[in-house]
Structure formats: structure tokens, C-alpha cells
Structure 1
Amino acid sequence: MAPPPVDVRVTRDDDGIIRVADGGAGPDFTLAVLDVAGAVLTWPVLGDPGPPTAEIHDVGRAQQWLWAVYGERVAAAVHACATGEPAGTRVPVDPTTLAADAARLGLGHWAARWWPASHLDGIPALQPDVLGLELAALTHQCQQLFEGSRGALDDFADFGDQPDDCAAELIEDHRAALAPLIQWWRAASTDTAHQLERVLRLIDDAADGAGLDGPELRRLRSVLDRPGPAATAPLDPATLFARSDGYALAAGELLVSGGRLIARGSGTNDWRRYPPGLVDASETAVSWTARALGARRQFEVDVVAHSAAPATGAPLAAEVRVNDGPRKRVALARRDDMWTGRTDLDLPPGETRPRVELGVLLPGFDPGPGPETGAERDAIRALVRRRLAAAAQPVANDAPPHGSSSAPFLAEIAATTDEDY
């Protein structure tokens, strides 16, 4: 049964931006965000997503999808607000299929950016090719959100303000995973097989509309036209999408550099300060040690690397502040499964309990330290664990439909069989 309608508030600010909202915001990593024609849509990841918040900067372009996401009454209220009628009205939203599909697409982009993969916390990473192909399918399914029709890859530059209208790019980037995805479809249980077939057919349609070609796509079309008998033996998807990075978390105590131990502690692992795929998402991934080496006082930083982190080429850094002094940057280098760095610090003679603030960041990407968000990060981890637990269970009769944002993604289903975690 469809959920009852809810009201949203339609307002206009001094810059002419029209906002459709039903709730507050939160830290970046608690929001699913989608760039669409003339607007940005956001949903809270924690709790019931409900209708999205929209910040509309071009009402003319947004009118093509407003009615299909919010219903005709909200679309009319936005148009009236744009033409000068009093703002601040509350309007009921009519739940729609496109709204549910858009929420799932937004959550998929959130997972690609903020999924808290951690060996320390036992949260498996999502296989990027599997997630990327499902995002391509969802993008094609939600094409009404994006203005115009996209053709060959050479035309992509015309849509620079809509980075989430990217079905063709996603197919190109992850086409190598089409063959194992087909294998999984042929061997999967009934419900997962239906989800896989739906994704594969949407990919085929999107590729055809964008003029993409190649052996992987031709084989996909052939298999969809003549699927043939299903495989008889069960298949573990983790074996199809196995990583080959050779990552193994080091056991035991971290290596030390000698000298007299003064103090040690942990830092803050603020996910907003570096891109995905560099640092293990655990709260305990960032640690420091202060040592006395004769008259010198050396500060050592250790950060557990993400399983996909590059061995070289990522100028990751730590930001250190001791006893409310100035902040100091420390360059980090990859050593096995760790990012490490050292610097000399001035400490008062006899100091044994320095007050240390430590965070990890990528210069040029970093928005700067913000308010502490440890509780929200814990809530995200709890959400992810619930989703993985649901993905590992047989589908129940009352399970959410595949179009629901709460239904597991294929990458989540595959991650539940990853024995590395």
C-alpha cells in the first residue's frame, strides 16, 4: 500500500532559488544527493527518506520532472512561486514511482561516495563495477530527471551541469563486469535473478540509446534475446568479482621507530576530508605516538589504508595540533596497509600528557575541520550493517520491492559473501 501524502514547504530566497523541503539537513555523509535538470535533490540517508528536498535554480527546466516526483500540486506551487506569488506555502506531495526510483538512485550515488568500508570494523567494500552498472541502469530508468536525450560520448560536454546523468559513462567505465554479471544472473536464485535481469535489460536499452557498442554489449544483447538454460550449480558472486589488490591487514603491534614513549592516542577520522578509497573508515583507523629521541620530540602518525588505496600518487596528509598550538601538516606515505608520517614537534620539557588533535585529509579536496560527527558516523555504520544483514537473508514475502531505496543493491548482496571481512 502506498504511503500517505505528506506536506512540503515551498519557499523562495533572495537569490531566486526555490526550495521544496520537508525537514532539516545534516553532515554531508548523511545525505544522498542527485543533480538533476535545473535543481539539486537531497534525501536523508538515516531514517525514512520521504520526499526529497529540492533546491531549484531553473524552474523552466525543472518543470519536466517536478510533477512526476512531487505531484501536480507541488509543481503548480513552484511555478506560482517563481512568477511572484507569495512564497512559504505548504503543499501536499503525491507519492510517485519516479520519486522512489530517484531516491534509490540518490542512495546508490551515496554508497559510491560514502560507504564506510573497513577491515577494522568488518564492513566489506562494495565492488565498484557491480555498483556502477546498477547505477547506470537506475540512471537510465530515471532519465526523466535529466533534460534532453544523450547520444554518443562526444556529446557529453553539453551536460556539464548534470554530472549524475551518466548512464553511458558508467557503462563504458564498468563494461568489463558485464560478463560476470551475466554469469551471476544465470546462476542466481529467483528473486536476485529478477533483479539482475532488470538491471541488465536497462543497461542494454541505455547502451542502445547512447550508440555504444563492443563485444561485451553485443554478447549482452545476444544473451537477453536467447537466455538459454540457467546454470545448475550455485555460484558465489564474490568469486566473480574478486579483488586482486593483495591487500591484507597487518596483525599485531605496529612497527615503532625506537626512542622513549611519551604518549599515544587516536585521532579523528572525518570522512568529509578525503575522497573514497583512501582510508579505512573505522574510528580507530587514525592513531599517533609521541616519542623522545634524545632532545628531539618526534610525532608519528599511522592511518590504516582502505583496501583499494593506491600504493603511490595520493598526497594524503595528517593535520596535527598540540596543546592548542598552530595546526601542522604532515605528509603521509603508503607502507603496506598503512599510511605513515613523522614530524618533529616542540613540547615543553617533561610533557607527558599532550593535548593532541589529529585528522587525516587530502589537500585540495579538504573542506577543513568541521564539528565532531562521531555519532552520525556510528549511525551510518549501523545502517550499513542492517542493509548487509538484510542482503544476506533469503527474500521474505514482506521484503521491500526492488525499486525501494531500502532494498539491497546487487553490490551489497555480493559483499555479504566476501570472506576477506
Structure 2
Amino acid sequence: MKLDIESGLWSSGRLTEPAPLVAVLEVSGAVLSWVVDASDPPVITFTDHLRADWLWRVVGEEGHVAVVEALRDAADGPARGVDLPGVAVLPGSTDTLRRLAFGHWLRRWWPASDRDGIAALDRAVLDAELAVSTVAAEDFFTDDTLDSDVDALLAPHASALNLLSTQGDPRVVALVDRCRELAEDIGVGWDGAEPARHRSDYALAAGAADGSRSATAIARGVSTVSWTAVPPGIFDAAEQTVDWTVVPAGSSVNCLVQVALCGPDHPAGIAAAVRCEDYRGTGVLDADGHAALRMHGADGGELPESRAWNLDWSAAEVAIGATGAGEPQHVRDRVRAFARNRLAAVSDSRLAAVSSEAYLAEVLAAESDY
């Protein structure tokens, strides 16, 4: 093992893959990272190596001592790489942690899409199994971390899990029974839990986007949602799911945006923006994924309809979510290919190794395809 320091943190390597391809798990004193479609050992980045009292389980007792002593000595000298010959991640020692990291990856990056035919994962079932698995790995969470919060995994889903347990699937019933016991142990309210609100709860209250969608179109086009720019569980993960149309609105124009949805959460309040030449429009989506963006010039004045007819709208850019975020299309394509292969492997009884470590939410999604 070789440790290098970057931004003040010692690490066993460096991953160059973008976020949608990396499964990450924060344990006590360190963050472990894996590329989801590769089989390499984790990259270990120490946030506080003295708090990583689980390290002997991963590199052996002698390896643990070697890491602590090497980083202690390195603290007294100039920052440089540290070679630790004979220290390596023991085979199989991080399998449980990798599965946990992968479960959190499923929550954030699973590319559910009605258009692409990639089944969504039941969030309540996934979070329930993650909660149980996190408790089983408690030796790695002697400190509170972002990924050790079992309460946050269970509390939003008690009502949904109770309902699912009445549908007769023995696998779900067993999982819910375990979660009910766990909730009692950690003090999470269960039987009187209020159901979590989902996108459908907001649909009737959401008004139509300002502007007539039947108006004469000055221009129209499509765009794609960048996954790293938006929260999970809202948008269809396919390409070109953003439809936009420029229409007259009085003496000015609006850009009407509609984004395809595929998830339990609602998009209300997520930013939407359009730019064409020197003109821009900004606003937020409503609960149905619609927005009406009034177009303005650099001087703040509205874009006149007469001028709008003469703009080259083929160069227009429409963005959803945080500005400056994004990933190349080939990354999204790679994640979709991985997801399809994963579902196929989970449903193939000949691939017992994949099926045995799959999450129940994956199994249910694979079964729903048949």
C-alpha cells in the first residue's frame, strides 16, 4: 500500500471517475470509495486515522500498526508519499462495506427511467435493508457519520413499510419485522408514523405553468437533465427529457419548460434556466415539472416578440438544477448499461453470486420486468 496526501488527507489512491460511477461510504475516521462497475479494492481516504479503529479488520493487525506509525512519523516531516510494503487490503475484508456503499449509490444514482425501461427501486425497501445492514456493520461506525444515520433511513418509511408488509411477500414481511424491532431499539416511532408525502400528493395543488401551452410556438427543442445538478428520486434519467417551447406572452415571450418525472419526490422549487444569445430566463419548476421562464436581455428588459422570431434558437441552452454541475453523456450511458446488466444478473438464477448480495429492492425491480 502507498499513501499520498492531498488537501491535507492521506489516501491509498485516487479515483478519477466522476461521481455517478463511484460508490462511497463514510465510516469512522475514513471514507472508502469503489468504482461501481469495477472489482478493485477500495480507495481509503483517512479523515482521522486515529479514529479508524476498525482498520485491523481490513489490513490486518500488523498492517494497522504500520499505517498508524507511518502517518505519525510523516506528521513530523515534509508531506510526501509513504510506502508500506506488505500492507494491503485483505481479500474479502471489505465486502460488507462495499455492499453498504453500493446501497447508498443505489439511493443516489440508480438511473430509473420510464423512457429507457429501467425499473425504479422501492425506496422504502432499499432504505429498510440499508438500515439493517448498517446496524450489522456497527463496528465500523463507532463515530457518527453521514452514512451511519439509521434513524434517517427508517423514520420516513414506517407507514409505507407497514403497508408493504400486508401484501404477502415473505421477504418483505421478514425485512419489515426486523425494522420494527430495530425501530423499537433505537427509539424511532413506528406504528403511529405519518405517511411520507410524495409527488402525487402535490399534483392537485400545483397550478399550471404561467403561459399558454397551446400558443403559437416561436421555437422548440429538447435538453437533458444533468444528474449531478439535481436531487435523486425525481427526474426520468433518460436523455432528452426536457422539452422546451418559446411562445408569445403579450409583447414579450416565455420559454415553457416541461421535464419528465420518474420518482416519488416532487421537483417544486428546483431551478430552471434558459439562455439564447444575450437573452436569459430563470425560474423554478412546479410540482409537475413545469416552468414558464420570462426572457430578458442583458439590460434587464424583456425580449420583444418581434426580436424573438429572428433569434437562432438552435443554440439555446436549457439547464435544470444547480448551475455549473454536469457530467458527460458517456458517463450516464455507462451507468445505464451497468444498471441494465445488474438487473439482468439479479434475475438470472445461474449468477448466484450476484443474486446473493443484491438488495431486495433490486430483486423486486428485476421481477417487475417480467
Contact (CA 8 Å) 2:276, 2:313: kept in 1 or not? no
Question: Could you list the per-position Cα deviations for residues 105-163 of structure 1 after superposition, in whole angstroms to 9, with x for gaps in the alignment?
Answer: 01101111222222222222211110011101210121111116xxxxxxxxxx3xx12
Contact (CA 8 Å) 1:101, 1:141: kept in 2 or not? no
Give the Cα–Cα distance (whole angstroms) in 2 for the partners of residues 135 and 182 of structure 1: 21
Matched, 1:56 2:50: no
Matched, 1:271 2:227: yes
Q: TM-score, normalised by structure 2?
A: 0.78
CA shift, 1:28, in A, is 1.9
* Structure 1 range deviating more: 347-356 or 101-110: 347-356
Matched, 1:413 2:363: yes
Amino acid at match of 1:103: R
Query: What is residue 10 of structure 1 aligned with on the other side?
Result: 3
Question: Could you list the per-position Cα deviations for residues 329-373 of structure 1 after superposition, in whole angstroms to 9, with x for gaps in the alignment?
Answer: 2222234xx423232353566234441111111xxxx3x324542
Give the Cα–Cα distance (whole angstroms) in 2 for the partners of residues 93 and 201 of structure 1: 39
The change in CA–CA distance for 1:208 and 1:354 in structure 2 (over 3 A counts) is: closer
Contact (CA 8 Å) 1:12, 1:81: kept in 2 or not? no
Question: Could you list the per-position Cα deviations for residues 283-321 of structure 1 after superposition, in whole angstroms to 9, with x for gaps in the alignment?
Answer: 12112122356853432211112342338xx21221212
CA shift, 1:19, in A, is 1.0
- Counterparts in 2 of 1:217-228, with a 5 A limit? none
- Structure 1 ranges of 4+ moved more than 4 A: 181-185, 199-209, 211-216, 243-248, 292-295
- Counterparts in 2 of 1:94-105, with a 5 A limit? 94-105=89-100
Query: What is residue 261 of structure 2 aligned with on the other side?
Result: 305
Contact (CA 8 Å) 1:318, 1:332: kept in 2 or not? yes
Give the Cα–Cα distance (whole angstroms) in 2 for the partners of residues 358 and 133 of structure 1: 37
Query: What is residue 336 of structure 2 aligned with on the other side?
Result: 381
Superposed CA RMSD in Å reads: 3.5
Contact (CA 8 Å) 1:68, 1:96: kept in 2 or not? no
The change in CA–CA distance for 1:389 and 1:417 in structure 2 (over 3 A counts) is: same
Query: What is residue 272 of structure 2 aligned with on the other side?
Result: 318
Give the Cα–Cα distance (whole angstroms) in 1 for the partners of residues 81 and 112 of structure 2: 43
- Counterparts in 2 of 1:229-378, with a 5 A limit? 245=200, 256-259=213-216, 261-292=217-248, 296-310=252-266, 314-323=268-277, 325=278, 328-335=281-288, 338-345=289-296, 346=303, 347=307, 350-361=310-321, 366=322, 368-370=323-325, 372-378=327-333
CA shift, 1:262, in A, is 3.2
Q: TM-score, normalised by structure 1?
A: 0.70
Contact (CA 8 Å) 2:218, 2:309: kept in 1 or not? no
2:218 match: secondary structure: strand
CA shift, 1:24, in A, is 2.2
1:25 to 16, 28, 43: 16
Stretches of structure 2 that go unaligned for 5 or more consecutive residues are 75-79, 193-197, 204-211, 297-302
CA shift, 1:263, in A, is 2.6
Question: Could you list the per-position Cα deviations for residues 182-220 of structure 1 after superposition, in whole angstroms to 9, with x for gaps in the alignment?
Answer: 86563x6xxxx9xx86x578657755753668669xxxx
Count of residue correspondences = 341
